[in-house]
């Protein structure tokens, strides 16, 4: 694993190509993901795309995977919360994409010491719409976004930054199954349509320092991953039984106060 994660992340706003999962682990998590889809009728929709680590012990296991936590610690320190897990596979030949945008636009983190770890369970390539980052864009502050409501957008309001991104800054996060990228909550990023004949499947796990406060009355809860809690988020209960009664109640409680304008789609 990259020994200069913190230095590179501070300068570039992203890290990519981290080896996270073994091939056996990829098989396990992909199989678990597909079984979750099957349980939900073949498609993950609505609130079941978000905070599924409260319903699924295997997802909670991924949230705390040692290789992920080791990388996150190097960036934001030892006191870490997970405030969301997002699922949204990109289907082939649908034209769906994500325009250039910043995750920070809707999450209200202060300070913005938050990031997304995007774990690939299948190949993530140029052809199937891998995530793209604009190098150094996290240093430019919060940018204005417009809402396009485009039918082709995977984002809730089709939000995008209404300015051109310099091609010389664009980096594609091409990943093998089991690899991951990490990007800062302020990093400008996008993803193109899946023009292949197979699905692109990944899991986005979102972390912040437990010292971070959430503004704008958003009211997210969070799972304490490691270190100490500073009392800035209501702490979540970890799952024991998949879709157990207590797990369902915990999940419903966690997603209920968060209006749709605050939910982020996986890229």
CA 178 to CA 51: how far, in whole Å? 21
47: DSSP letter: G
What is the structure's pLDDT at 21?
98
Q: Which residues pair with 204 in a beta bridge?
A: 86, 118
Cα–Cα dist 53/45, whole Å:
15
Q: What is the pLDDT of residue 260?
A: 43
190: helix, coil or strand?
strand
Given this model, what pLDDT does residue 143 score? 80
- 24 contact partners, CB below 8 Å, separation of at least 6: none
**pLDDT the model gives residue 3:** 54
CB atoms under 10 Å from CB of 248, counted, come to 14
SS3 23: helix
Contact 188, 137 (CB under 8 A): yes
Q: Give, for all 267 residues of the chain, the pLDDT tens digit.
A: 445 899 999 999 999 999 999 999 999 999 999 999 999 998 888 889 899 999 999 999 999 999 999 999 999 999 999 999 998 789 999 888 888 988 888 788 999 999 999 999 999 999 999 999 999 999 998 888 777 776 776 666 667 787 788 999 999 999 999 999 999 999 999 999 999 999 999 999 999 999 999 987 778 899 999 999 999 999 999 999 999 999 999 999 999 855 443 444 444
Helices (H), 145-259: 245-255
How is residue 54 written in tokens?
Answer: 């409260």
Q: Dump strand ranges (E) for the chain.
A: 14-19, 80-87, 98-101, 109-110, 114-120, 131-134, 146-147, 159-160, 170-172, 179-184, 189-191, 202-209, 213-214, 221-226, 234-235
Distance CA 29, CA 23 (A): 10
181 CB-near residues (< 8 Å, 6+ apart): 14, 15, 16, 17, 18, 117, 118, 131, 133, 173, 175
Cα(160)–Cα(93) distance, integer angstroms: 22
152-167 in b/e form (b: 16+ CB < 10 A) is ebbbeebbbbeeebee
Cα pseudo-dihedral 110, 250, 259, 88, rounded to 10? 90
DSSP state of 240: S
Which domains does the chain carry? 12-262 (2.60.120.620)
The C-alpha atoms of residue 139 and residue 48 are separated, in whole angstroms, by 33
CB of 264 within 8 A of CB of 86? Answer: yes
């Amino acid at each position: 694993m990259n020994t200069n994660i913190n230095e590179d992340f501070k300068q570039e706003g992203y890290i990519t190509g981290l080896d996270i999962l073994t091939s056996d682990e990829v098989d396990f998590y992909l199989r678990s993901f597909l079984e979750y889809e099957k349980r939900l009728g073949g498609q993950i929709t609505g609130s079941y795309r978000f905070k599924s680590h409260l319903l699924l012990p295997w997802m909670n296991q991924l949230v705390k995977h040692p290789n992920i936590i080791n990388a996150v610690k190097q960036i934001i320190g030892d006191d870490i919360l997970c405030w969301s897990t997002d699922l949204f596979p990109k289907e082939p030949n649908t034209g769906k994409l994500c325009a250039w945008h910043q995750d920070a636009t809707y999450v209200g983190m202060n300070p913005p010491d938050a990031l997304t770890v995007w774990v690939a369970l299948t190949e993530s390539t140029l052809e199937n719409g891998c995530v793209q980052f604009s190098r150094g864009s996290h240093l430019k502050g919060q940018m204005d976004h417009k809402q396009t409501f485009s039918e082709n957008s995977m984002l809730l309001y089709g939000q995008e930054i209404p300015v051109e991104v310099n091609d010389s800054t664009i980096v594609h996060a091409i990943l093998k199954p089991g690899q991951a990228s990490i990007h800062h909550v302020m990093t400008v990023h996008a993803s193109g349509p899946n023009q292949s004949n197979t699905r692109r499947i990944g899991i986005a796990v979102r972390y912040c320092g437990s010292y971070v406060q959430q503004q704008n009355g958003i009211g997210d809860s969070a799972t304490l991953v490691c270190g100490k809690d500073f009392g800035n988020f209501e702490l979540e209960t970890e799952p024991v039984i998949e879709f157990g009664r207590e797990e369902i109640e915990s999940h419903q409680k966690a997603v209920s106060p968060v209006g749709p304008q605050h939910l982020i789609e996986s890229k």
